[in-house]
Amino acid sequence: MNHLTLYYKPTCPYCQKVLGFMDQNGISVPLKNREASPIVREELIKIGGKPQVPCLVIDGKAMYESDDIIQWFKANWKES
């Protein structure tokens, strides 16, 4: 099983697209709001080199772009 975390920003439409897909498909992963604190933002930059969201971190590696994240979930998500 992959270790997953989704970094997002509440007002980002691309983040909302991913979150909506997750909700519709019963997908639950730890969420980190990039705007919650400077520490979360710095953590995101340390992982992926930039503060871009949405960012799905898969076993320590950053994946960006809402469509790519949704495709990853479609191909890899298995309910536990």
pTM to 2 decimal places: 0.93
Strand order across the beta sheet in which 55-58 lies: 31-33, 4-8, 55-58, 61-64
Four-way CATH pick for 4-76: 3.50.50.60, 3.40.30.10, 3.40.190.10, 3.40.50.150: 3.40.30.10
pLDDT tens across 15-26, in order? 999 999 999 999
| Calpha distance 47→40 (Å, rounded) | 11
pLDDT tens across 35-45, in order? 999 999 999 99
Q: In this structure, are residues 36 and 20 in contact, taking their beta carbons and an 8 Å threshold?
A: no
The two structure tokens encoding residue 34: 């990039």
